[in-house]
A and B are shown apart, each in its own frame.
Chain A
Amino acid sequence: MPRDYLTDFELMILLAILRVGDEAYGVPIAREIEDTGRRTVALAAVYTALDRLEQHGMVSSTIGDPTPERGGRAKRYFQVTPAGLAAVRHTQRALTRLWSGVPQLKGGRA
């Protein structure tokens, strides 16, 4: 069932997919979140969130070819769907509105 709100982790994953582009599978998605978000993530948690987002129609996935360095296992590539993109924009607007009303955050320093 579609929904228009995202958890912070789901938002980060969607943004990571958008940033990585066509090569968005588990490893680069997790690495993008770790590099930009400066936090460690569990690949299993990434997949759990991706499965949930796919169930809600916010991402779609395709299976690639197996490669030797992965022990002959295939990659699963993810793309953000229009519904997922709408959810990202919706969340961005909501967060922007929230930020704009907080005097302590004015000037860019907390």
Chain B
Amino acid sequence: MTPHEPPRLAVAILERFLPDNEPLAGDLLEASRTRSRAWLWCQVLLAVAGRTVAGFRDHKRVTTEAVLVSTAMLALLAFHAVVGASLINRMRLMSDPQAIVAGTGRYQAWHGVAALVAFVVAIAIGRAIGRFHRDHRVAAAIVFSVSAVGTAFLNLYFFVPQTTLQPAFMPANAGVQIVEAMLFIGGLFIGIATSPAQLRPRTAAAVALFAAALLQPLVQAQSVEAQTFEVASIKRNVTHTGPGSLAAPQPGGRYIGIGVTLRRLISDAYDDIEITGGPDWAGSDRFDVNARAEGEPTPAQIRRMLRPLLADRFKLKVHTEPREMPVYEMRVARADGRLGPAITPSDSKCAEEARNFFPGALGFPPPCGDFRLGAGAFVARGMTMEGLARLFSGSVGRPIRDRTGLDGAFDIDMKWSSDGGLRPTPPDAAGASELRAEGVTLFTALREQLGLRLDSARAPVDVLVIDSAEPPTPD
């Protein structure tokens, strides 16, 4: 075999991990000149692994203590960093609620600033790790990264209110979250270089390429966020009379609204959030909407495209704020958690279909994801508890909060004595006895047939406040 130079990285690893075993490093380099690169890499990795095991065996107690203490310190530091970031985020939301609305310039600008700040802070933390953990700085940075990302995930998953997570935790934003985390970790590793001289041009180029590769999904994710209808028509409907209207996403990226008010459109665009404020005509003037997007977006994506459309055509400006108001909390009625006879868990296929359901299909029984609410019966397939709460919120005149703790989808077949026009309850009413259909109250039907109860309560509810809106510009 022709003699060749050993790989630089392998030599660097030898120097880094076997600094006090010069003869072994020399032997490996000498032997590698007549062996393959694979042989050298195999030998180097075996040497590093053997050295690690031997080090642990020779200094078992000290090594264990050092690992445990360092890990605990880094985990604690990461915890505090995430708590600090979370507090700053909450303060920002209190001062600028519009910033959580995906698809707006503020939301993207905030993420850009957050990524930049995280990157700079990570470099500073990396420098500190490089100084205080000189011998194990790579391991320390890895532990810190894992701790920070883990703590951030737990924080988001368990402690941030669901309403705040939406839309910030939509799947389309997952790419942004990942990119920000990776930039943070990348900053750590740049920071741990003990001096700028160690950040050689080739390493810097590799880091830049790595960051560019990460920015690709960021750009992609933001393009999804900012996705808008390809064409959209909004016309005043002056012939529509009566309370009914149709507004729903359709297959093929379409959104159709007939005789629909601006409030109804806002409700659709912002996940049926409580709405307040705005001009009177927003709840009375009716419009026909016909919009189409490219590709095959899901119903949720189509609804989200309404936001930029409304901002453009109605000059709509909104913000969210928490308000305490009367609500019903929906809970499982029985202490043993058993549900009623009229509700059963949907099969997994139906639950999956329900997630991508486009409303509008006729027929009975309803397809998965749809429901029929009419004379004598309420039938639903693939209905989530959250969806059920949202559905009946309109009937009882108060928001219903899902407190059942039940995940997944359910098939429901609840009997009414009448469609009965469930009389809306005044917001300050005491509760159950006032809400009576002809013969059966909604409360009774829910409790006896579904095993669910509605408890009256007061709670902070995120409300969408309409700051301003104008009649739509012509097409």
Contact = CB atoms under 8 A, between A and B. Distances in A.
A10 to B, nearest CB: 16
A63 B21 CA distance: 11
Given A43-B47, A70-B26, 18 more contacts: A26-B24, A43-B28, A43-B31, A44-B47, A44-B51, A45-B46, A63-B23, A66-B26, A67-B30, A69-B29, A69-B33, A70-B27, A70-B29, A71-B11, A71-B26, A73-B22, A74-B22, A75-B27
B46 A70 contact: no
20 contacts: A25-B23, A25-B27, A26-B27, A27-B27, A27-B31, A42-B42, A42-B47, A42-B50, A43-B31, A44-B24, A44-B46, A44-B51, A48-B50, A48-B54, A70-B29, A70-B30, A73-B22, A73-B26, A74-B23, A75-B23
B25 interface: yes
Contacts of A74: 22-23, 26
Q: Which 4 residue pairs of A and B lie closest in terms of their CB atoms, listed nearest first? A: A73-B26, A76-B23, A26-B27, A70-B26
B377 to A, nearest CB: 75
Interface in B20-76: 21-31, 33, 42-43, 46-47, 50-51, 54
Contact of B50 (A44, A66, A75): A44
A53 interface: no
Contacts of A30: 27, 31
Contacts of A73: 22-23, 25-26, 29
Interface in A1-54: 25-27, 30, 42-45, 47-48
Contacts, number: 61
B27 A43 contact: yes
A86 B27 CA distance: 28
Interface in A57-86: 63, 66-67, 69-71, 73-76
Nearest to A63: B23
Nearest to B6: A71
B29 A43 contact: no
Interface residues of A, number: 20
Contacts of A45: 46, 50
Given A70-B26, A70-B27, A43 B33 contact: no
A66 B29 CA distance: 13
A30 B23 CA distance: 14
Contacts of B26: 66-67, 70-71, 73-75
Interface string A87-102: 0000000000000000
Contacts of B25: 71, 73
B53 to A, nearest CB: 9
A66 B24 CA distance: 13
Interface in B70-88: none
Nearest to B23: A76
B345 to A, nearest CB: 56
Contacts of A63: 23
A71 B24 CA distance: 12
Contacts of B29: 69-71, 73
A25 B43 CA distance: 17
A4 to B, nearest CB: 24
Contacts of A42: 42-43, 46-47, 50
Contacts of B51: 44
Contacts of B46: 42, 44-45
A75 B30 CA distance: 10
B36 to A, nearest CB: 12
A44 B23 CA distance: 11
Nearest to B22: A73
A75 B24 CA distance: 8
Contacts of B27: 25-27, 30, 43, 70, 75
Nearest to B48: A44
Contacts of A43: 24, 27-28, 31, 43, 47
B40 to A, nearest CB: 10
A67 B474 CA distance: 84
Contacts of B31: 27, 30, 43
Contacts of B28: 43
B290 to A, nearest CB: 72
Contacts of A76: 23
A47 B24 contact: yes
B42 to A, nearest CB: 8
A69 B50 CA distance: 25
A29 to B, nearest CB: 9
